[in-house]
Every structure is written in structure tokens, then in C-alpha cells.
Chains A and B, each alone.
Chain A
Amino acid sequence: MKYPALLLVFFLSFFGQAQEIQILSVTDSLPVPFSTLIVKNKLISFGKTADDKGKVRFQGSEGDSSLYTLIAQAVGFEKFTKEVTGIDLNHTRKIYLKSISALSEVVVTSQYVPTRVEQSVQKIQVIDKEKIQQMGAVNLKDVLSNQLNVRLQQDNILGSGMSLQGISGENIKILMDGVPVIGRLNGNIDLSQINLNNVERIEFIEGPLSVQYGSNALAGTINIITKNPTTKKIIVGLTTYYESIGTYNINADVTSYLKKHQIQVSGGRNYFDGWNPGQKAFYLSKSHIADSSRFKQWKPKEQYFFNLGYQYSFRKLNLGFKSTYFDEQIINRGYPRAPYAESAFDDYYNTKRIDNHIFLNGKITQRWSVNALTAYNYYSRIKKTVYKDLTTLEEVLSENSNDQDTSNFTLFMSRASFTHVRDSSKLNYELGYDINYESALGKRIDHQLQYMGDYAAFATLEYKPISSLVIKPGLRYSYNTAYNTPLTPLLNIKYAVNSRHTFRASYARGFRAPSLKELYFVFVDINHNIVGNRELKSEQSNNYTVSYNYRTTVNSCRFKFDANVFYNDIFNLITLAQTSATQYSYINVGKYKTMGIQLGTTMKWKRLTLQTGVNYTGRYNQLSESESVPTFNYSPEAQINPSYKFIKQKITLSLFYKYNGKLPGYVLVDNTVKQSSISDYHLLDATVSKLFFADRVSLSIGCKNIGDVKNLNSNLASGGGAHSASSSTVPFSTGRNYFIKLSFNFSQQ
């Protein structure tokens, strides 16, 4: 023991009297629960965690007039340091913490403990509640439309997919509070099924996180963090949202906090009545004769969702569960059939997601923290086709074998990580396991039902040889019941020259496990013979990233600059190929690479926030292996997001602009190489928000897609000039539309 006096103080504390200190937030004077207080003087130094009221007690003796230093810390707040003289046993001393500005948020994904963005070893972007609100974003697709390095694709039956750093959606992991979202159709998760009504922030990580999160976390990880616990007794919220293309959404939530218990209930309904190019804005749907107008390019859609959350806080731990129920119905009304337009085939697609998880996180001891999750996710998608007589409107369930289809996926997962963190220590580390047991049920799966179990252990450590340098290596080992898993390494380095300049470098191995479909697919009929391959290995990638971050404050202007260079090298790409004269199967043959550079700035000056960014991404051209065409096809993107606040009037004006450059490509047509491209487009949204009635009512009015982008042209340019160019269009967006969003929020202390 360095300080025998410390022991003495603790000993005395059982008998002495207590000084009470309460830690509060400066913005709303609400207590900051579970914040940390460090008390120091010449002799002693000890830390204590506040209770749920933000209160800390420590013992002292009457008449002590020595100089103490109080240091208060809490996630999301700036560090508070104050020197006080003596101990006042009769009064509660109050400490007010300033919350950290939007320029520096707190993140949890792949962190040992909640960490401020700029301190994370891994580069993480945060899309906060404010941006979601200002964009009028309803679901994940809406908010990602403004994200650099993200390209969205639209399929009006399968939903919205994305690619990141030029890598397709099957290599992107989407997490909801750390729990993987399941239900991949053709590898993609439908982003429009992930509603943001209950979301606090989105943590967006480019590059692999396969060590911690396993399969699919190869191109990047999106972790959606639902709303934080609150300390208000009760909060009731109600939001309605209308879009001129025929979207009517409503949702409500209730949060209640009783001592150590907290309950959240929310639910809602989203309805979209379908849209065709050429449809007028503010078109009100009404009953219509069942003619060709019944067919919609964008299908009518109805979603119901319900969330329930409970959290119990004890000691320094949080224990709780979250349940989500989601139901979506898409109606694809068929075009009246030739020649007499008297009948049509209508498809109904019903998707259900039921996700439940329990969690335990927090500090077990002063040094050890735990972050544990156990989840069971259920996904089902039922396609139902009916034959509809349009003259009588009678429906008959179609009996064709391919018209009725059910896919079920389930995932049981359990992940826990134990982290050893001591601020003063040069070496902190994390040990964890990740168990995933999934099933797939579908018509074209061998024996209709297949299972796959994945049992993984991982470890990372953070080594700080000097205070400005962090070296974080990691390793994941796993055993999979279906295929041989690779050993996955990781190395992150962060070097903070000073408070302004930070460099980061990383090498990470990412992987994507072969899906149950790729392993067990069976589709054999008179014209087809496609089977899965049980010998498949996982797709793997090497990712190299280097980034530089500069931040400064000049007068009242805060400025941040980021530069980021990445290179992804994917090998053992799973490709559908002809494996014999008559049979097709999946094999690990392909390779794919992407690389890019990204620059971004954020400036915050008084009431103005301006965020800009550009990137330039190269996507590997697989034809370059056999033909003389460039190895990479490059495409630019740019982003400008200004926002201005009128403080007194409580009005915020925001603009969201993103330019997506032309996507060039090469295709082989009749054995000759031809250039192809998907046209470029500009996405611009503008929003005005205002708060009324003591901030209880918020109103946003805006225009989305001002550039009126509807379909994207996909051109096949002529090769030698002699052949005619062919082109097609892909639906991308519903064109320019106007929205109004109205929220009511009532709370009681």
C-alpha cells in the first residue's frame, strides 16, 4: 500500500459523518445517475459511483479544512474539476456537468466501456437523434441516403438494400443494441423495415468488426442504439407524419422511471398507399375501378410495430430486456391481364419480426465490466398469391406451387464480453464469447430446414505504451458446425499527437460465413439444376484503413477535419458458377477489391453547423482478369449539410445534400466488352423545424428529394459505335415529396 492514510480514511468512514454531493446536468438540472466522482487531497485519492439520483456520499470529519479536488465524470458529459476547501456536512454540494456537444458523441460499438468518439481506437461515425429528426427520417434507408460511402438500391418487393465502400449488403452487419438483425433476402436486409421511432443514435463503422461481431461484419457495421434510460418519472410522446406521396405514420411511446426500474413502451403504424411515376403530389387515394391504375410501381405497404423495454439498475449494473414485434404487409396488385383485363394476380408479402433479448451490462468490480446479451430473433416472410376476378373482385388463393412461399429464419445468439479497464493501466483487455445458432426454413433449402451453429471466442487488448499511443490487437477463433471457420485477426493503432491531431491505422480481417442458402440450396427441375455446396469456405477480406483527424476551436468556432483512406481485398468470394455441364453451384472462386479516399469537415460556429464531405471510391472490375479493361471503376460522392438555429424563435433550418456520381462498369455482351453505367443523381432535402409550447410540441415541415429523382438510368453504351445502345431504368425514389411531422411530448418529473 502506497498510502496507509487511504486505508485510514476508509476505516474512519464507517464511523464518521458524510458529505453529500449531487451531480447534475447543467442543461436541465436533472441528476446524472451513476456518474463517477473522484476525491483527492494530498493524502488520499478515491473514486465513487453515484446512485440513481446522482448522489455520492463520502465520509469526512467535522472541522476538516484541507484542500480537496473534486473530479466528476460521466458518459456524455465534460469532465468537471473543482477545488474545494473543507467538508460541509450540513449541505448537499451540487456539481453541474456540461454535456458534450454534438461534435463529440459517445459510442459503445466495439468499445470496452462507453467512449467519446474521438477517443475510440476505431474510427466511428455517429448519426444522432437530432439529424434523424431534422431529416424527417422514418427508417434506416431514409437516414442512410445522406451517408457518404453508402449507395442504396431499391427493389419494390424485396425492399431497400445498400452497399458500403463499394461492397454489397450481405457484407454489412446491422445490429440493434448489439443484436444482429436477421432476415436477409438475397443477402440484403430491408432497410425500410428498420424504423427509427425509438432510436437514440446510429453508430456507423466502416471496415471489419469481425473479431467482435463475427460474420457479415466485413464492409462495415451499423449499430442502432435505442433510446437511453431517462430519469423523468413519466414521458409520453405522440408523433404523426405525413408525406405527399401518400405516407401516413403514427407512433406513440411511454417511458416511466421508478427508482431503479425503468419501463419503455412504444408502438405505431406506418402506411403508404403506393405510388406511380407521374402521380400528383397531395394525391388522396380513393376507391377506384380495378383498371390498370391498380398497379403501382411502389407497392402499398403497411407496417405495425411494438416495442417493450425494461431495465433494472442495481449497484453499477443494468439488467433488462427488450422485445420488438414488427409486422409488414406489402400488396402487389397485379396489372389487369391481357387480353380482356378481367383478372389479375395479386401478391401479398407478409413479414414478421419478433426480436427478444436480455442484457446485463455495467461494472462488476472497479476494474471489470461486463456486457452480455442473449437474444432470440424470429423472422418470417410469407408470400401469398391470389387470383382476382376484377369483374367480381373475388379472390382465390392460387394453387401454383411457386406462388405460395414461406421463409423462416431464427437466430439464437449469446454474446458476452468481459473487459478489464483501469485508467492508469497501460494494458487493458477484453475477453468474450459469441454463440450464434441459426436456422433457415424454405422451399428451396435441402430438406426444407437447416441449422448452423457458430461458437466463437474472442479477445482484444488495448496497450498504451505512452499516453498518446494506443495499440489494440484482437483475435477471434470460432467453431462452426457447417463449414471451416477462419481465424480472424485485428490490429488498430491510434496516435494522438496532441489534442488536435489524431492518426489512426488499422488492419482487420473480415469474413462472411456462407449462408444456409449457399450451403443447402436445392432447385432442380426440368430446366434448372442449382444446388448448394456444403464444402464452401467463408468469404474473407483484408481491410487496411488509415485516417487522420484534426480538431480545433478558434474563438467560438469549432472545426473538425477528417481524412480516410481504405483498401478492401476480398478473396474466396462466393460465386454462383457452372460446376458441370448441367449443374450450377456456389464456389469460392471470385475476388473483389475496393479502395477509396474520403475527406470531411464539420464546422460549428454559433448557430450555424456545416458539414461537408467528398469521397472517391474504386470498385474492382472482375472483367479485368480476362479482358483489357481498367482494374477499378471509380465513382465520386459529395455531401453538404448546413443547418442554422434561431435560438429565440426555436426554429431550425437544415439542408441535406448528397451527390452520387455515375457508377461506371464493363459487361461482356456476345464476347465483346462494353461499357455500362448507372447514372449519377443529386439528393437534396430541406427542413424547417420549430418547437412550441415549452418545447412540448415540435413541428417539422420539409421537402424531400427536391431534385425529383425517380428512376436511375442504367446504360449499356455502344461498344464500337455500330451497335445500338440499350438502356433501362431502375426505380430508385418516389420523386419530390413534401412532409409534415408533428410530435407531442409530455413529461413529469
Chain B
Amino acid sequence: MMRLLVILMITVLFYSCQKKELPAPAFDRGDVITTQVDMGSTYKDQIWYSLSENRIVSTNHKTDWDLAFECSVSGNHIFLNGSKSMKVYKTTSTDLSSVNDTTGLEANSKADTPSGKQDSTAIGSWMDSNTVYIINRGFSETGQQQGYVKMMITSVSATQFLMEYGDVFGTQTLQGVIHKNEDYNFVMFSFTTNQSLVIEPKKTEYDLCFTVYTHFFTNPFQYYQVTGVLQNHYHTRVIRIRDKPFADIGINDTLGRPSSTDRNAIGYDWKTFSLTTNLFTINPAYCYIINDAKGYYYKLHFIDFYNTSGIKGFPKFEFKKL
């Protein structure tokens, strides 16, 4: 009896070790191109990418610019840099020097519609009632407030925008000139360098932009910064496919499915953030067919948001020309 009990005890003692795992088999991916881009773990960078060339066309820091001015001859729309969570408040004042504080900004400020529709920008149709805008320049990737600017557009022509602006709390008024260039969708302007600059590549040279942008959540309404993909405004279309595995998607799937020109047609929701695990998970059912400006079709899906060191901000995707 005693012997039995001792044996029992020893069994408990020696059975209780952490068991080693055995390696899992690798998945056969087939004939696809795999690319990973590095936005930084704080998503500080905007990455402009071309599918046909499988190359990053350009990369910039997201705080490099504030406003994007439409470059077409008739263009008069102005977009905010949503990657910084910029907001704008249209005052009723028509005198730039009379605006000296941010009263009303917090309660009434707006961001651009995430779809990038030209009729739903936060600045809106300034030509109808031209008043002073108070701009919250948003935050850097470390949460650093970028300042407040007051701004008024003085004119737009086929070749340039003119504006007056200054620090809300300052006394100085500056003039800004933004020259249009039809090779581009937009030319940007920075209130840091007080210069217009080229950030977005030529409109025929890229398809996708990996960036943070401002999303609207409803119920309750809330602006929220999300990390994802915006597509080129210029002749690029996206078909969303949720009902077919990536491997089975072919050219026939371009038929009978709606395509979207919304800039956030790919958006951020190909991954989900779990508050319980604090991790992003790829949604494998989210696949896309992208029709680029040259008319080619590509199927694409995301396979990761982390690099092999486990750092987030590294969207990884597979694509194949159809």
C-alpha cells in the first residue's frame, strides 16, 4: 500500500513538465508575388506603391505636409492630411486678422470623408462663401500636437492656388502659392516649411498608398485613426471579394461585381484589432481585384501586418496579375 502511494507521488512529481512543441508544416503559396512594406511600428510613413512595377515609388513622413490641393485645370478642392488626424473649422469671419483663438474649433471641427469624395471635404466649397478656416494640424505619430493655423484661400486659377495664413495665436500673415501640375492628382503644402511640395507621386505611377487615415465610426459618431490602404484617385478601381478563397479568384470574377473608386475601397478592415489579445488579425476572407490605371487586373490579399520580428506596421500582401 505504502509502496503504491509513493509510486503515485513520484509519478505526479515527474510527469509535470512543460511539453515541447513540434514544428508545423509550411503552407504552399503557389505562384504569387509577396511583398511587405514598412510603415514603421508607429505608422509614421506614407508609402506609395505600384503593383505593375512591384516597387515602392516613394516614401514620406506623414507630418511632411498639411494640405493637398487639386491639380486639374478646373480643380479647386483641398484635402486635409488625414494621417495626422487634421481637422478644420470654417468660421464666419472674412478677416484673417480678427481670428486670434481656436474658439469653436473643438466643437465644430470636421475631417474629410474617408472615401475621399470631392463633394465631402472638410474645407468644402470655399468658393461659395469664402471665410477663414481654423485648422488643427493634428498630431505626429508620437502624439505631439502640430499646432493651429488660420487660413483663407484668396484665389484659384487654372495654374495656381493663392492663400493667406498664419499661426492662430501669432500676428504674422503669410502668403502661400501652390502651382498646379497636371501630372499629379495633388500638390501638397506644408505649414512647417511654408512651401508647396510634391509628395504624392505622378498619378500614373502608383496604385496604392499605405497610410494612416481618419475614419468615421458611427453609433456613436467618432473620428478614429486607422491604418490601411488608400487607392489612387486616378482611374484605379477596386472590386471587393469576400465569398471566394484567394487561390480560386480569376479574371472571370471581375464580371458582375461592382467596382469602387472610393479611395478607401481597400481601407483598413482587412485586419481586426482584438482588445483581448492586443493583436491585429488578418481577415483571410477579404480579397480584392484591382484594376490599375493602365487597365490591368491584379488579385490581392493581405497575409500579415507584422514583420518576422513581430513588429506591427508591416503590411504584407500577395498579388498576382490576372
Contacts and interface: CB of A to CB of B under 8 A. Distances in A.
B106 interface: yes
Contacts of B312: 400
Interface stretch (B21-29, B70-78, B158-166): B21-29
Contacts of B107: 581
Contact of B24 (A391, A402, A582): A391
Nearest to B28: A340
Contacts of A345: 277, 279, 310
Given A338-B281, A339-B284, A390 B23 contact: yes
Given A345-B279, A389-B308, A526 B139 contact: yes
Interface stretch (B4-12, B120-128, B201-209): B4-12
Contacts of B255: none
A400 B310 CA distance: 7
A526 B279 CA distance: 18
Contacts of B106: 581-582
Contact of A339 (B18, B20, B282): B282
Contacts of A692: 1-2
A390 B23 CA distance: 6
A287 B19 contact: yes
A527 B85 CA distance: 9
Interface in A361-400: 385-387, 389-393, 396-400
A32 B131 CA distance: 93
A284 B25 CA distance: 24
A302 B16 CA distance: 10
Nearest to B276: A157
Contact of A340 (B8, B27, B283): B27
Contacts of A250: 9, 12-13, 16
B282 A338 contact: yes
Contact of B5 (A334, A397, A699): A699
A288 B19 contact: yes
A399 B224 contact: no
A537 B37 CA distance: 49
B277 A289 contact: no
Interface in A254-293: 269, 271, 273, 284-291
A284 B15 contact: yes
Contact of A742 (B5, B19, B246): B5
B58 interface: no
A666 B267 CA distance: 36
B22 A290 contact: yes
Contacts of B41: 399-401
A398 B311 contact: yes
B24 A390 contact: yes
Most chain A CB within a 10 A radius of its CB, from B8, B224, B310: B310
Interface stretch (A98-106, A240-248, A458-466, A475-483): A240-248
B172 to A, nearest CB: 28
Contact of A291 (B17, B18, B24, B277): B24
Given A526-B139, A527-B224, A581-B107, A385 B310 contact: yes
B320 to A, nearest CB: 15
A670 interface: yes
A601 B37 CA distance: 69
A248 B16 contact: yes
A287 B310 contact: no
A391 B16 contact: no
B311 A342 contact: no
Contacts of A340: 26-27, 29, 303
A391 B26 contact: yes
B111 to A, nearest CB: 13
B21 A396 contact: no
B25 A391 contact: yes
Contacts of A398: 309-311
Interface in A387-432: 387, 389-393, 396-403
B278 interface: yes
A273 B20 CA distance: 12
Nearest to A399: B311
A403 B278 CA distance: 8
B155 interface: no
Nearest to B142: A525
A500 to B, nearest CB: 46
A393 B306 contact: no
A291 to B, nearest CB: 6
B219 A285 contact: no
A289 B22 contact: yes
Contacts of A238: 9
A521 to B, nearest CB: 15
A524 interface: yes
A740 B9 CA distance: 10
A300 interface: yes
B309 A337 contact: no
Contacts of A342: 24, 26-27
A341 B311 contact: no
B262 interface: no
Interface in B159-214: 212
Given A337-B282, A343-B308, 14 more contacts: A248-B12, A250-B16, A269-B16, A271-B16, A288-B21, A334-B279, A338-B284, A341-B24, A342-B27, A391-B26, A393-B21, A397-B310, A398-B310, A399-B310
6 contacts: A289-B21, A339-B282, A401-B41, A526-B143, A527-B225, A582-B106
Interface of B: 1-2, 5, 8-9, 12-13, 15-27, 29, 41, 85, 106-107, 139, 141, 143, 212, 219, 224-225, 246, 277-279, 281-284, 301, 303-304, 306, 308-312
